[in-house]
Amino acid sequence: MPLKVRKNQSPEPPQPCMLTHCMAVISGAWAANVIWSLRAGPRRFNELRTDIPPISAKVLSTRLTELEQRGVLSRNVQPTSPPSVEYALTELGGELVPALEAIVKVGHRLKMRDEG
Amino acid sequence: MPLKVRKNQSPEPPQPCMLTHCMAVISGAWAANVIWSLRAGPRRFNELRTDIPPISAKVLSTRLTELEQRGVLSRNVQPTSPPSVEYALTELGGELVPALEAIVKVGHRLKMRDEG
DNA sequence: TAACCAGGTTTCCTTTAGGTAACTCGATAA
DNA sequence: TTATCGAGTTACCTAAAGGAAACCTGGTTA
């Protein structure tokens, strides 16, 4: 007799599409780090590069464009000379911060486990 | 005069490596969905496949192996016939659930924004 | 007038993650 | 004895994401 596929025991139907949707936003290379870096305030392009040394200009640029399109951050050009460009989290972007905090917390435990 | 690179204003030094570390765990394809599916209790291989229809056996198998190695879930074989294999979150895995809940929450807001 | 800065873009290349599909294996049911 | 099931492997292929390095542009300053 074939095994029955048990109904998933969750109290309410889960929403995997929401999960997938949001994961798509934060799982691009360095996306989470960019958001994390912005959580304390606006940051310029080259500041982000020094915050996240291994990121290349190309990937940073790609990621910033993506995140802006998704409404997570805003880009605004300061009319200074030379003009500088500031990136900042939007309100929506700010809502990602608690999620990332939770992730960092688990990161700690994972590292403890890996190291001993 | 070159622009100064402002110090990042965060109150405490951020821990981007923790973030990267943990993101590595949950950002593989369908990894978050697998964990999400297990949050309500143990699940068998084929149950996970029906929970997450687009996942292929190969990727599911890869992901389960990875997640087990990282201590996020446990695998145990029930001596039934045919033997069935149950996957369940470990305590460490359980700590990822609040993070995923936070992510789902933002997923909702992202979707609202995209749709209307 | 040559070099430098900020903030990118472009080109090119490589890797690798992921998808498909076919196959395995031991046990059991028809 | 053939088919089915659960639980995976294995082989193969491809798209696309990411890295490196060079280049660009408009202004500035040495």
Q: Is the pLDDT of residue B11 over 60?
A: no
For B62 and C19, how far is CA from C1' in angstroms? 13
Q: Domain A16-115 belongs to what topology?
A: Arc Repressor Mutant, subunit A (1.10.10)
Q: What is the pLDDT of residues A73-108, one digit of tens each?
A: 999 998 887 789 999 999 999 999 999 999 999 999
- Say which of A19, A92, A107 has its CB closest to residue B32: A19
CA distance A47 to chain B (A): 6
Indicate which of A106, A109, A114 best probes the interface with B, i.e. most B CBs within 10 Å of its own CB: A106
Check residue B10 and give its pLDDT: 55
Does residue A71 come out as left (phi exceeding 0), alpha (psi in the -120 to 50 range) or beta?
left
The letter for the amino acid at A2 is P
Rounded Cα gap, residues A71 and A69, in angstroms: 5
Give the pLDDT confidence score for residue B13 in this predicted structure: 46
Contact between chains at B19 and A82 (C-beta distance less than 8 A): no
Give residue B32's pLDDT: 98
Q: Kindly tell me the burial class for residue B29, based on how many C-beta atoms sit within 10 Å of its own C-beta (0-12, 13-18, 19 or more).
A: middle
**pLDDT for res B14:** 52
Ranges of each domain in chain B: 16-115
Among B33, B70, B102, select the one facing A102 at the smallest CB separation. Answer: B102
